[in-house]
Chain A
Amino acid sequence: MEDPAAKVKALLLKSSSESQLSLYDHLVQVLMKVIDEETHNAVDVFEDLSHHVKQCSLEERQSVLKDFPQPTPAELLAEQQRLLFVCTDDADQEEDLVEMALPNVSELRFFLEQAGVGLGREEMQRICLALKQLVDSEALLCCRLWGKILGTRSSYIVAEAECREGLEEEEQSAESTLEQEERHDDTKEKHVNEKDPLPQTNFKPPPVVPKEAIGTGANKFVYYVCNEPGLPWAKLPLVSPAQITAARHIRKFFTGRLDTPIVSYPPFPGNETNYLRAQIARISAGTQASPQGFYQMVEEEGDEEDEVLRDSYEVNPDFEGIPTAEMSESLSTWVHHVQHILQQGRCTWVNLATKAGDDSNEEEGDEREEAENEPEPEVGPSLLTPVSQDAEMFNSPPWSTKLSSRLTPQHAVAVLHSNLWPGAVTYACGKKFDNIYMGWGLKYVGEGHSPALPPLPQKEFPSGPEISEAVDPSVEEEQALEEALEEQEAA
């Protein structure tokens, strides 16, 4: 007589023809797992446990044949970022310089966190090291974390730096040679076409508004961007007034790749590099504010240089700081310290009419005409104007002020948010203040952006007998005409 239990056990021990496993062994393994790991509510997740046990047994066998692992993006980035943590020994000689140039990012993080803005502790530390790398490699005199612009595929970390004097000349000479080359090309083309001249149009393109030189106006600072701290910094080119005016009419997301073309209407002159630079210029001009009295105008002799005076300021050594309670209530304690960008796309107005006259000496008549209707110079608000004088747009005030803490206002910092450029924040605490921008690089436009419409199609040439097509006469008609003519001659 066979034992029924032994019979059942034999059934369970029967190994499967496919996986060579027996249910008995499998149950033992699952139960061992439950006992070992003391799984909570094991009966509810029994199928998952069973699945997991089977998966594990499979993984062990596969270990002999493994794919060659492709480096993941995280590993590649870690290799790049490792360089940030390498200590350089030759820093001793330039210690003073570096200390001056490198911003105190930890302090910035501390204050910004109170304002409810920040990128996370580790990220800020990495940015700090990346800025150090930038300062060391480019030998910058002064550098500041400008902010972060989010993009659809990756983001930009933006550093603002003061340019060195030498750099300026280099770039300008490079640019002028480029322009000369272009002119050479033009003249060559003219020579080729001389034999069979095409009709010349009498259309003259409107004069191009000249760029501002490095160190003035919208090009006062140079900007460096990188996608992730540790990746190489890229220097942004100078901004031209045409780019600023075009950027005002379009609304595009940044992608995170500098060479992306900007497909928009009206067309934008340049690619994402130029668009980024234009938006940075607009944001800086619109949102950088400081406590009143922190900066003062440079006092120089000579009233003739009014225009030059307007864009220079210096740190006021006697600034005592404004109480934070007052700063968080009144907008008039905050002033702009970056020049307003005019409608023309420049900070200082340039008279295009006279410029055009200088270039073309042949047409004196034109010059006179232009002199008659000389355009009104555009004048923006002067530097260090309180932000309370900013115009209200889209039914909402342009600025909001807040105090960082409700419970301990005596140690709080005053925070200024821009409502026109969501993401632009300024904090002030005692004698310290800083501006930062973290956002999508887009201006608030109220109720929806309405893109510019294309111009109306040009009118067709008025149709008349001289341009309308006539039907060719048929052979019979020609013959009839010939006969008629012959008859006339005969008669």
Chain B
Amino acid sequence: MDANTLYCSLELVAGSGHTLNSEQRAALQTSLVILRKNYKFKRVLFWGKIMGLKEDYFIAQGRGEDELKDRTSLYSFNCIDWLQLPPATDALINHVTTAAKGRFIGDPSFVYDHDPQQRPGTEKQAEEVMAAKVTEEMRLAVTVHLIDEEVSVVPRGAFVKRPHGLVQLNPSFSGLSESEAIKLDNYLHFSEPKNLKKKSILELGELNPAIDFLDVLSDDIPKGSWSLQLECAGRVCVLRSLLWLGLTFYHVPMTQQHGYIYMGYGNKNLDLPFML
């Protein structure tokens, strides 16, 4: 969620039970301004909190010219000193997903032990050695990347794709109407589309290429991996991901206010098919 509207946004997503205390809020209001200046971001978002056994990671995200591609994630323990996370490459994602399991500890230099004896082979040996040295900082980078990839949400029309391919905030977005806001079709994944190319020409014909350049939430598998509710006396539309428990998205119908935050343990809910 945007750092400028952090205070009121936190109240709107508080229905999930997690919030920030006043010391952290005050610290964020100070440090995110400095962060934006130092890193020359166009916009800074408070991304969320990943709770570890000993310490909690606070995550901020800077956005550049292109909102979809120019993203930089940073973490902090005290909401003041921010450290940049390494970029999550495909190779890194593979290493981390095989090596790191269980809860986050709260120590970025913690090394996850991994059994390199599982797949004996000359080629794979090098990979395994890499995988054996997965630090928690790498895992954090991958987790943040995966959450962004799989469950970040925006309402339809909030972002436009410019003719040059840049994705930017839509200045004339005036919010979903009350009847639109309770339908999952009007919310989009804010990541590179995967299902869009698989759609038939007939389906694509109805879409507006400037707005509908992202995947729709209602196409997610399994069906029912989102929980859509009206909260705060029925005025705010709140979406919770059941795949990454802790991700909360809010949108106030008929206004521009929308955003998402992750406050959880950084573990993907792999049991989802059994739980619906």
**Which residues of A are at the interface with B, using a C-beta cutoff of 8 A?**
41, 44-45, 48, 72-78, 81, 113-123, 126, 148, 150-155, 251-253, 394-397, 400, 404-408, 417, 419, 422-423, 438-440, 442, 444-449, 451
Contact = CB atoms under 8 A, between A and B. Distances in A.
B102 A394 contact: yes
Interface of B: 11-12, 14-24, 49, 51, 53-54, 56, 78, 101-103, 171-172, 178, 224, 227, 229-230, 232-235, 240, 242, 245, 265, 270-271, 274-276
A117 B18 contact: yes
A114 B25 CA distance: 11
A406 B78 contact: yes
25 contacts: A45-B171, A72-B178, A72-B234, A75-B234, A77-B233, A78-B233, A81-B233, A116-B56, A119-B14, A123-B232, A148-B17, A150-B17, A150-B240, A152-B276, A155-B15, A155-B229, A251-B274, A252-B274, A253-B242, A396-B102, A400-B54, A405-B23, A419-B103, A449-B271, A451-B274
Given A152-B224, A448-B271, A120 B103 contact: no
Nearest to B276: A253
A114 to B, nearest CB: 5
Contact of B17 (A48, A122, A438): A438
Nearest to B17: A438
**Nearest 8 A-B pairs (CB), nearest first?**
A438-B17, A74-B234, A120-B14, A48-B172, A449-B271, A152-B227, A118-B19, A77-B234
Given A119-B14, A155-B15, A113 B227 contact: no
Contacts of A41: 171
Contacts of A445: 271
B276 A121 contact: no
B103 A423 contact: no
Given A73-B230, A74-B230, A405-B23, A422 B265 contact: yes
A417 B101 CA distance: 20
Contacts of A121: 11
A118 B240 CA distance: 17
Nearest to A408: B23
A310 to B, nearest CB: 32
B11 to A, nearest CB: 5
Contacts of A155: 15, 229
Nearest to A149: B17
Contacts of B276: 152, 252-253
Nearest to B12: A120
B259 to A, nearest CB: 15
Contacts of A438: 16-18
B184 to A, nearest CB: 12
Given A74-B235, A153-B227, A422-B265, A119 B270 contact: no
A446 B240 CA distance: 22
Given A253-B276, A396-B103, A118 B17 contact: yes
Contacts of B232: 120, 122-123
B19 A117 contact: yes
Contacts of A77: 233-234
Contacts of B102: 394-396, 446-447
Given A81-B233, A152-B276, 8 more contacts: A76-B234, A120-B14, A121-B11, A122-B11, A396-B53, A396-B103, A400-B53, A444-B103
A123 B275 contact: no
Contacts of A422: 265
A405 B14 CA distance: 20
A48 B171 CA distance: 10
A119 B24 CA distance: 17
A447 B101 contact: yes
Most chain B beta-carbon neighbours within 10 Å: one of A41, A251, A253, A451: A253
B53 A153 contact: no
Contact of A114 (B18, B21, B233, B270): B21
A116 B15 contact: no
Contact of B242 (A45, A122, A152, A406): A152
Most chain B beta-carbon neighbours within 10 Å: one of A151, A404, A422: A422
B53 A419 contact: yes
Nearest to A70: B179
Contacts of B18: 116-118, 438
A113 B22 contact: yes
A404 to B, nearest CB: 6
A120 B234 contact: no
Contacts of A396: 53, 102-103
